[in-house]
Amino acid sequence: MSLPKPAVVAVDGGNSKTDLALVAEDGTLLATARGPGMPQHLSEENVRIIADLLSSAAGMAGVAGAGEGGLAGIAAQLVACVANVDLPEDERQLERMLAEQGWTQSTVVANDTYAVLRAGLDDVPAEGADRPWGVAVTCGAGINCVGVAPDGRTAGYLALGTITGDWGGGYGLGFAAQWHAIRTEDGRGPDTELARAVPAHFGLSTPTEVAVALHKGQVTYDRIVELAPLVFEVSDNGDPVARKIIMKLAKEIATMAIAVIKRLDLTSAAVPVVLGGGVLAANNQVLIGAISERASAVAKLAQFRVVEAIPVAGAALMGLDRIGAPVSATRQLRAAFAKLPAAV
């Protein structure tokens, strides 16, 4: 029996990887593909990565002609939620670049945090709203937050890093781990197990060796994100310095969410607060509990949800929303993603 035809092409383009999904109108998940992350700055490379993934997924889904590059008109809707496409004009430019490929009838590009938001929201809008709404914080390699009010108003951040007031994500945790580790070694800070764990992770002996290896390019800076799970592990083992880093992250996440909630006038509403991305999806109870406690002090009715589904599920749900698919389709799609291995 042949598979149904694709109706939605969904893309989640992160810093470290890009996921693409082909979805039928009834919510059948036809195929998924994974490739490299999005480049730091918008270029034709964004389109090339997505094109390669689409060709691969189309082949897996048995789309006629996919092997010869016959991808024109493959589906009705493309939704691409992409990191590093930070400004509205960047989003519109990438939208035009993708639309020019002729893959779908309609193309939408949005910040990747919107995929996390949609993945964590109910498929039936709350009473008085004509769309799913809420606030989402994504904490993966980097950190960002967006919100959508019941009336459609939105709020968020540029999220360009330190220059826009941001701290957190896997890179923030990793650099903090090395910062505290070397201050233990040279006497500027208290003792922490991070002083042993950080160099050990890279097969080195001391934090100074790590610093020199980073400086010389022997350890690339993109590997700093690998230290994020280590910070949680050391914290869970009772290390006060690692715990301090986790509490700083909780404060930053809660602060971002609270500010968006205030800007959207939702402090008195039962606002869903969706927590996603690799760092948050790990569902560390100390971190999640601290976020909830801080944010609830301002938004007492806020409802916190940790999303474990890969964010491309949210982009796919956005696509089904845009083609007017029934709730039965969104539920079928959620069930399909729930069955995928965590690594997919």
The CATH number linked to 200 is 3.30.420.40
Indicate whether 344 belongs to any domain.
no
Look at residue 1 and tell me if it is in a domain. no
Q: Are residues 209 and 149 in the same domain?
A: yes
* 129 and 141 both lie in a single domain: yes
Same-domain pairing of 49 and 160: no
pLDDT at 123: 86
Number of domains in the chain: 2
Same domain, 178 and 294: yes
Q: Residue 84: what pLDDT?
A: 87
CB 235 within 8 Å of CB 243: yes
236 three-state secondary structure:
helix
Least confident of 11-15, 143-147, 169-173, 252-256: 11-15
DSSP element (H, E) containing 75: strand 75-82
d(CA 138, CA 112): 9
In this structure, is residue 343 part of a structural domain?
A: no
pLDDT digits (tens, 9 = 90+) for 296-328: 999 999 999 999 888 999 999 999 999 999 999
| Domain co-membership, 93 together with 133 | no
**Structural domain boundaries enclosing 28:** 6-119+309-338
Non-local CB neighbours of 248 within 8 Å, separated by 6+ positions: 167, 176
pLDDT at position 196 is 98
What pairing do the DSSP bridges indicate for beta strands 143-148 and 75-82? unpaired
Backbone angles phi, psi at 219, to 5 degrees: -120, 120
* Least reliable range by pLDDT among 66-70, 71-75, 140-144, 182-186: 66-70
What confidence score (pLDDT) does residue 127 get?
A: 67
**Looking at per-residue confidence, does 258 or 123 come out higher?**
258
Answer whether residue 32 shows pLDDT above 90.
Answer: yes
pLDDT of residue 2: 64
Q: What integer is the mean pLDDT of 57-82?
A: 85
- Name the strands in the sheet holding 75-82, side by side, starting at the edge strand that comes first in the sequence: 29-36, 17-24, 6-13, 75-82, 104-111
Scored b (16 or more CB within 10 A) or e, 37-70 reads bbbeebeeebbebbbebbbbbbeebebeebeeee
* C-alpha to C-alpha distance for 10 and 37, rounded to whole angstroms: 15
Which CA distances in Å does 60 have to 51, 57, 326? 14, 5, 25
pLDDT per residue as tens digits for the range 235-283: 999 999 999 999 999 999 999 999 999 999 999 999 999 999 999 999 9
Does the structure show a pLDDT above 80 at 51?
yes
Residue range 87-116: average pLDDT? 96
Token look-up 């700093």 returns: 224
pLDDT on residue 343: 45
Asked whether the predicted pLDDT for residue 126 surpasses 80, the reply is: no
The answer, as to whether pTM is greater than 0.95, is no
- Other beta carbons less than 10 A from residue 167's beta carbon: 17
* Percentage of the chain lying above the pLDDT 90 cut: 87
